Amino acid sequence: MSAFAIWRWARGKGVTESALAALGSSSPNSGYIGYPILLQVMGPEAGVGLALALLVENLLIIPMALVLSDAGAQRQAASWQTTLRQSLWRLRKNPMLWAIVLGIVASMLNLQLPEVVNKTIQLFAVACSALALFVIGSSLVDLRVSGLLGQVSWIVVGKLVVHPLAVAAVLWWWGPMAPNLQMAALLLSAMPMLSIYPLLAQPHGLQGFCAATLLATTVVSFFTISLILWGMTQLPGWQL
């Protein structure tokens, strides 16, 4: 919410752009980057941290960002109650939210898909990761990066510096917590944003800006994550 407030009121941006900036500053790539790093550092305990992070991202951060970005795209003047109601109604057509809801329901009910369907979904899941890279690359074609460096740097700093510092402050304020959960929370907060970030911005015409932000954040994160891992080896209590 702090990232949204800064972009909306301090920088004077629209609701849609502010919502996407907040999403980029707060939603890490837990699955493709975060989990492999956690697995190397923590071993099998990494699964607990990943599961908790995905719950927060899928149930809170992503739906909230989609509602706000859709609300900002509405042109007509209306009360915030009407805007929120209309945005939630439009989200019924969003396949991503339906996938999240159905996945949670299936997990709670311990439903098992037939083997043929399960293998098909796995094939699509692997293909979608590669396809997302092509979409991100195509979004960067003919993009004037020079005019975006200032805005991109705001989200890069927010995601890789402010977000981990905020999580560290919350961990310190919250008090005693299992060391593996502390480690998972801090490391996941230091990851770049989720890889489908430009795809979520595409309906609003901001996929180029978000693709450039994703690229810059991912490159810079190599150094910031390495610095955090090194720092954990120097501080007592992290058990690296």
Residue pair 28/53 in contact (Cβ under 8 Å)? The answer is: yes
Question: Domain boundaries in the chain?
Answer: 2-234
**pLDDT < 70 regions, the chain:** 73-92, 96, 129-130, 132-133, 135-147, 236-240
State residue 89's pLDDT score. 67
CA distance 213 to 116: 38
Q: How many CB atoms lie within 10 A of CB 73?
A: 16
Q: Which residues contact 239 (CB under 8 A, 6 or more apart)?
A: 179, 183
State residue 118's pLDDT score. 82
CA distance 53 to 163: 14
State residue 234's pLDDT score. 80
State residue 238's pLDDT score. 64
State residue 173's pLDDT score. 86
Residue pair 207/143 in contact (Cβ under 8 Å)? The answer is: no
Supply the pTM of this predicted model: 0.81
State residue 82's pLDDT score. 67
Of 155, 130, 129, nearest to 212 (Cα)? Answer: 155
CA distance 193 to 204: 18
State residue 44's pLDDT score. 85
CA distance 240 to 236: 10
Q: What angle do CA 84, 90, 94 make, to 5 degrees?
A: 125
